Structure 1
């Protein structure tokens, strides 16, 4: 045992569990935590942001793109609430984010004295967007509680966790025994009877398909093996993109999946909520549904499947694949059929959302195959969900169903920090970028070579389109006054470039990739992009809709 402060006990415990990067913003209740990080020297990379929301967004981007725990630290009360939007995004997207929060002095908690940043029942407040949370009330407890945080992050479904420590406990010196890293995580056994039942359904199916979400990110090989055996197309929308490479004939984007959904007779849904297919496209008795998920709440959500298997997706899919092999199952190739459908869908997309596709084609061509694309709640971002090819898991980062406007830039900086050996491109609209534009300072200070493309049409486009279509053209609060984004970037010390069409964007990306630090590319958009919704809000194509 060694004498150390509470702050040091936290940081030493993080280091013992493999944390090498922390995204944080200093403040009075974190003084001793930051001093502990200072003492770690080069062994711990500290990236401090200009707003608390960015600490958790960066941790989210780091976690989603690497699969490792993303760690952030904020002051209590308003600091933690500022970070809560990003924690909400991480919660919705099953991201392993560890948030460390300060707290007012332990003697004042719950007293209502009006201490700086005091908030009633902070643990209870943050519990709605965390899987687990805990107050550390003595330095000696830090190793145990940090260890439990990592156990929670690595067991079952990953979601954010939070630990907090009162400021006087962070300053307290005590004997502390730093524990070894958590290395054992409980796992669920595979229910072979349910595997057998699933295999029987799939052996009878004429046109099976697979749908994947973030719960299959670590099961790419197993998904591919099962898909090839079944000759089943694999559909992904956002988080599941790249689990099967987009250039494989068995990879199906969202509109192609919709076309296939109408005629499939068996679906294996792996680690996905399956919300839009079930609630918009429908399910009837002619479609047998097999759900595989580590989150028990998802198995019967929306509708009851024919078979629901609770367990690790890789293990379940491997068992299912082996059972089909044992049963002597084989299927004829569907390469010609699916390749033709893929080409047909691609043509339809280019006809209806051609302007966005033209820009995405340039981005895909210039971004290396192992590069990472981060979207935003913007017109090009929406089309990227179905129109941007992805070749490996974790190469397309999204806000998921939260649709957190403004999440993109700060998230992409976390992606960049976790993948300094790769190229990263992030797209924003002019509205969303301004939510975290101050983090240009962070990007320059830490020389994060992120390339951000801002499509500037001087409006909140979705809002204005709906105002014009739904309210007889009554436009309110959707026109935007913007800075010159190129000059803005240069004023921070970043590189700034302009583009006005796909070809000039190509040249700007090439110039941006030559920079050592961050770059902003402003694309001047004069007209509305076509609505992306025809390939997302697609109509019912089964007899019944689940509600």
Structure 2
């Protein structure tokens, strides 16, 4: 059977894929031009993968990418690694998808060798056979277990007809069920004996769809909850039991609660250094339960007392029926009152002397948006300000690069989110440094008239690096001062609306106007140059050694 765009798009339609991303133009359109699958064309392969990544995070469905050249594959590596780090399901077609001169073909690079460390699985097919069965298998592997990128390499060369399918079941289903049940019974005993328990929730709980059952258990037990950056939205940020984000830029309440906890129930977390701080000082008095679908993550960084290899929803659903809620509430009443009081008495510190505070800008964006809005960020100070100041009430409403910390992620990921959720508000919050990395995708947002409201915090610096240099290198600044274009004129040159604000009053007017418009809007906010993110835990310190404000 011949490999053609019609057949490829037909296979995707059969597997309920409704949108794909790439950079080639007419070459990727189905030959008949009749397809239920939308093709979104970006200007760069890295952006195409980030767009598919944003689509996947917002929907929970795999993002699909088409790459047809050697440079396209190498350009896409950053996007694939970003998705791999954060367990985002992607299906990437790479190879001889379209006919090109020999010197432009993807055979010029070793696709499998380049992408093997950052993909969950790689299939190889030739142009004559193998596509129909592989697409379904690739989607299944991408979304099941711990999600991740799967690559399908298309080649003109003869290859073996069978592709190895990874066996994700290492023990029998009966033994797995028995072992999980024993672990859940022990976890219930730990919870009923604890006096200072804390739930620590990561991105795995969001991926699993465990947020509703998590909230139910937290309310019945009255156990406080903290989250990682990617766990934000797993529980309503306005919930009294939610103490905030944990770690280097975590809230005072979250860091103190985890530090003094005697039982830490960790669900779908990787224990990154930004969450744990100094390893030896991480929650030193607690027993630790770690629930993760990927066994390689357990005991990798933080030694735990009760390892549980399980899907988060499966674990919490079974745990719910095992708990003695009255006993737990009786044991922890004093602790709950104490830890939630920290949230009230030591709130986020915002001692900005600037005319236009980035904290206030983000709060205004929150006020003008609705609870269905999806917020996409780049990486830097604005990412942390967003995590603290925007009140995320639902899962999959914060889309951001966590593990890899990819600057330039925001705008293309927002394009993917908008392509998936045309009716929802989409807000992209970026910095002057991050935005310039992929700003050419403004053309894509204009081309498709996507309803993205882009907020650029322009402080004239690579802000997070500058903050480290100020606090830990005696203010010796090096290579952090930014030069930026006039973002308003740039937006207008691309055909988007552009506005600028230098004061809180102007910011209010700009945001109000932006949300009244249907297409893409760029909002540039001139915030104080040397604004810092607080709280902050210095490197190589424990999370209880937090800096609350500029001294």
Q: TM-score surpassing 0.5?
A: yes
1:110-509 residue pairs with structure 2 within 5 A? 116-166=105-155, 189=177, 191-217=180-206, 218-254=209-245, 255=251, 256-276=253-273, 277-280=275-278, 282-283=281-282, 286-325=285-324, 329-332=327-330, 336-346=337-347, 348-351=348-351, 355-467=357-469, 475-509=477-511
1:524 and 2:521 matched = no
CA deviation after TM superposition for structure 1 residue 72, in Å: 1.2
CA deviation after TM superposition for structure 1 residue 302, in Å: 1.1
- Bigger shift: residues 374-383 or 511-520: 374-383
Q: Report the TM-score, using the length of structure 1 for normalisation.
A: 0.87
2:375 aligned counterpart, secondary structure = strand
Q: Report the TM-score, using the length of structure 2 for normalisation.
A: 0.86
With over 3 angstroms needed to count, the CA separation of the structure-2 counterparts of 1:296 and 1:286, relative to structure 1, is: same
C-alpha contact (below 8 Å) 2:461/2:529 kept by paired residues: no
- Bigger shift: residues 146-155 or 457-466: 457-466
With over 3 angstroms needed to count, the CA separation of the structure-2 counterparts of 1:69 and 1:284, relative to structure 1, is: closer
1:27-42 residue pairs with structure 2 within 5 A? 31=27, 34-36=28-30, 39=32, 41=34
CA deviation after TM superposition for structure 1 residue 237, in Å: 2.8
Return the match for 1:21 from 19, 36, 40. Answer: 19
Alpha-carbon deviations, 1:154-202, whole Å to 9, x = none?
Answer: 2200011111213689xxxxxxxxxxxxxxx978646111111111111
C-alpha contact (below 8 Å) 1:464/1:475 kept by paired residues: yes
Q: Residues of 2 paired with 1:49 and 1:379: CA distance?
A: 27
Alpha-carbon deviations, 1:373-407, whole Å to 9, x = none?
Answer: 11222322222223332100011111102111111
2:95 aligned counterpart, secondary structure = strand
Q: Residues of 2 paired with 1:263 and 1:398: CA distance?
A: 29
CA deviation after TM superposition for structure 1 residue 495, in Å: 0.7
2:80 aligned counterpart, secondary structure = helix
With over 3 angstroms needed to count, the CA separation of the structure-2 counterparts of 1:104 and 1:320, relative to structure 1, is: closer
Q: Residues of 2 paired with 1:526 and 1:404: CA distance?
A: 24
Provide the residue aligned with 1:180 in structure 2: none
Gaps of 5+ in 2: 159-167, 246-250, 546-551
C-alpha contact (below 8 Å) 1:362/1:502 kept by paired residues: no
C-alpha contact (below 8 Å) 1:104/1:117 kept by paired residues: no
2:445 aligned counterpart, secondary structure = helix
Alpha-carbon deviations, 1:65-88, whole Å to 9, x = none?
Answer: 111111111123210111111111
Gaps of 5+ in 1: 170-184
C-alpha contact (below 8 Å) 1:376/1:429 kept by paired residues: yes
1:209 aligned counterpart, secondary structure = strand
- Bigger shift: residues 410-419 or 135-144: 135-144
Q: Residues of 2 paired with 1:275 and 1:448: CA distance?
A: 34
With over 3 angstroms needed to count, the CA separation of the structure-2 counterparts of 1:303 and 1:530, relative to structure 1, is: closer
CA deviation after TM superposition for structure 1 residue 494, in Å: 0.6
With over 3 angstroms needed to count, the CA separation of the structure-2 counterparts of 1:104 and 1:120, relative to structure 1, is: farther
Q: Residues of 1 paired with 2:540 and 2:425: CA distance?
A: 33
- Bigger shift: residues 432-441 or 476-485: 476-485
Return the match for 1:54 from 47, 51, 55. Answer: 47
CA deviation after TM superposition for structure 1 residue 500, in Å: 1.3
With over 3 angstroms needed to count, the CA separation of the structure-2 counterparts of 1:376 and 1:285, relative to structure 1, is: closer
Provide the residue aligned with 1:515 in structure 2: 517
1:253 aligned counterpart, secondary structure = strand
CA deviation after TM superposition for structure 1 residue 475, in Å: 4.2
- Bigger shift: residues 70-79 or 113-122: 113-122
C-alpha contact (below 8 Å) 1:6/1:142 kept by paired residues: no
With over 3 angstroms needed to count, the CA separation of the structure-2 counterparts of 1:297 and 1:430, relative to structure 1, is: same
With over 3 angstroms needed to count, the CA separation of the structure-2 counterparts of 1:126 and 1:432, relative to structure 1, is: same
Provide the residue aligned with 2:164 in structure 1: none
CA deviation after TM superposition for structure 1 residue 490, in Å: 0.9
Q: Residues of 2 paired with 1:304 and 1:351: CA distance?
A: 38
Return the match for 1:11 from 3, 9, 12. Answer: 9
Q: Residues of 1 paired with 2:508 and 2:231: CA distance?
A: 27
Alpha-carbon deviations, 1:105-160, whole Å to 9, x = none?
Answer: 99x9xxxx965444442112111111011121244310111111012012200011
CA deviation after TM superposition for structure 1 residue 283, in Å: 4.3
